């Protein structure tokens, strides 16, 4: 029998993170929505905390190996998606601005060598993939990396980089061999302040305005040879395109959890306003006998549960060493799209209050839109799921 009860350790995580989000993030959500590009100084409380990371791969010499257990892991991924949901219930843009919680940190944690983990593991790292002519198809990037002696020379432009201004390092995707296609794409760690690496400008956005998003230009930017993420030997670097793409199998459930958190915040507000207006929510009532607004609430609540369960399944699989590419994309597609629809519907049902700055409903509606777009659009997630289900390659199903 499937046990859908929240494990005790996750309940403790959820309670603690909800308290933190409610006391620290929610009160300043509007402040930094209006003060776009201003770093939230309140988040300095998180500095020094390694939000994303891993222990070194190599065992300590002389230390006995830990016996394997048949018991499912109380894993980092599942704990992370629970944390992310609660933090985004507080505020999504602020959660994205927490130091050392960048997408680049996830990539470093996933495929860096032990030496690279020592050098870059404590830095706030962003991820630079998208280009003006390369969005959802990450394999079509044109930024180049040419080996010159003991240095890589990087050239190109990267847009829509999250935490561009605040990060300390950036994981840059570039091709070492255009003729090799996706196989020639590798990722490189470029530290801020490196000559030839310039933050060109910051974007003005619809939502998640507390998080800064910018464009980087690389002009003959030289970095050490061993800054290629994974093995410094290109032919041996299996952690290139395929390796770092696997990062998304861990991070897409995180984005799904963001959508769950924002959508839940909207539904919580709607429930509060419905009950204040005299509505008595009764889950035992027949749907067809309910007022339209209450029926809409129940449908959105059920959708929210589906979003969360898909997200938890993908995270649990990752923690237990199971291939979760399909499930990660299913969670991201469902949560990203449904989260957008829920926040829009809530704003609609709240009437004028849903579009007033007196409440955060209109902000949540704006914030949720990006969650259906970044980390791979919903359409791309459907394509990934279809390829896996039909067992077709990217060349066979485009």
The DSSP H or E segment spanning 289 is: none
Cα separation, 216 vs 224, in Å, equals 19
Cα separation, 199 vs 20, in Å, equals 32
Catalytic residue numbers read 375
- Give whole-number Cα distances, 83 to 3, 45, 229, 271, 375, in Å: 21, 17, 27, 23, 19
92 neighbors 343 (Cβ within 8 angstroms): no
Greatest pairwise CA separation for the chain in angstroms: 75
Backbone angles phi, psi at 264, to 5 degrees: -65, -35
- Among 173, 152, 178, smallest CA distance to 104 is for 173
- The number of angstroms, rounded, from the C-alpha of 72 to the middle of its chain's C-alpha atoms is 24
- Among 126, 17, 122, 29, smallest CA distance to 80 is for 17
> Would you report the helix, strand and coil content of the chain in percent, each value rounded to 5?
50, 15, 35
Q: According to the 3-state scheme, what is the secondary structure of 231-280?
A: CCCHHHCCCCHHHHHCHHHHHHHHHHHHHHHHHHHHHHHHHHHHHHCCCC
196 neighbors 143 (Cβ within 8 angstroms): no
Backbone angles phi, psi at 274, to 5 degrees: -65, -45
239 neighbors 230 (Cβ within 8 angstroms): yes
Cα separation, 282 vs 290, in Å, equals 9
- The number of angstroms, rounded, from the C-alpha of 228 to the middle of its chain's C-alpha atoms is 22
345 neighbors 289 (Cβ within 8 angstroms): no
- Among 250, 107, 253, smallest CA distance to 167 is for 107
């Amino acid at each position: 029998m499937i046990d859908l009860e929240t494990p005790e350790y996750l309940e403790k995580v959820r309670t603690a993170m909800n308290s933190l989000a409610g006391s620290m993030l929610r009160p300043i959500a509007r402040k930094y929505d209006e003060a776009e590009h201003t770093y939230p100084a309140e988040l300095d409380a998180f500095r020094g905390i390694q939000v994303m990371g891993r222990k070194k791969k190599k065992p300590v010499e002389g230390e006995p190996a830990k016996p394997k257990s048949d018991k499912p892991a109380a894993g980092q991924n599942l704990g992370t998606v629970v944390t992310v949901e609660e933090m985004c219930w507080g505020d999504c843009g602020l959660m994205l601005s927490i130091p050392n919680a960048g997408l680049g940190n996830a990539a470093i944690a996933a495929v860096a060598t032990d030496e690279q983990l020592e050098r870059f593991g404590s830095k706030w790292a962003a991820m630079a993939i998208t280009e003006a002519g390369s969005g959802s198809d990450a394999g079509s990037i044109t930024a180049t990396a040419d080996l010159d002696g003991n240095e890589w020379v990087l050239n190109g432009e990267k847009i829509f980089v999250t935490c561009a201004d605040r990060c300390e390092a950036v994981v840059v995707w570039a091709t070492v061999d255009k003729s090799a296609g996706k196989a020639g794409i590798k990722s490189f760690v470029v530290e801020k302040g490196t000559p030839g690496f310039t933050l060109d400008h910051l974007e003005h956005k619809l939502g998640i305005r507390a998080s800064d998003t910018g464009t980087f230009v690389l002009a003959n930017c030289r970095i050490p040879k061993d800054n290629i993420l994974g093995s410094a030997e290109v032919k041996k670097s299996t952690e290139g395109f395929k390796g770092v793409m696997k990062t998304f199998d861990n991070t897409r459930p995180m984005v799904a959890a963001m959508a769950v958190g924002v959508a839940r915040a909207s539904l919580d507000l709607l429930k509060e306003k419905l009950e204040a207006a005299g509505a008595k929510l009764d889950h035992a009532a027949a749907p067809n006998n309910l007022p339209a607004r209450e029926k809409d609430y129940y449908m959105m609540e059920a959708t929210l549960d589906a979003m969360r369960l898909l997200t938890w399944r993908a995270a649990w699989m990752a923690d237990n060493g199971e291939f979760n590419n399909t499930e990660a994309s299913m969670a991201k597609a469902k949560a990203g799209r449904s989260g957008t629809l829920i926040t829009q519907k809530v704003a609609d049902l709240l009437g004028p209050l849903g579009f007033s700055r007196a409440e955060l409903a209109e902000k949540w509606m704006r914030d949720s839109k990006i969650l259906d777009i970044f980390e791979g659009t919903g359409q791309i997630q459907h394509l990934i799921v279809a390829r896996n289900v039909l067992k077709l390659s990217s060349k066979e199903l485009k």
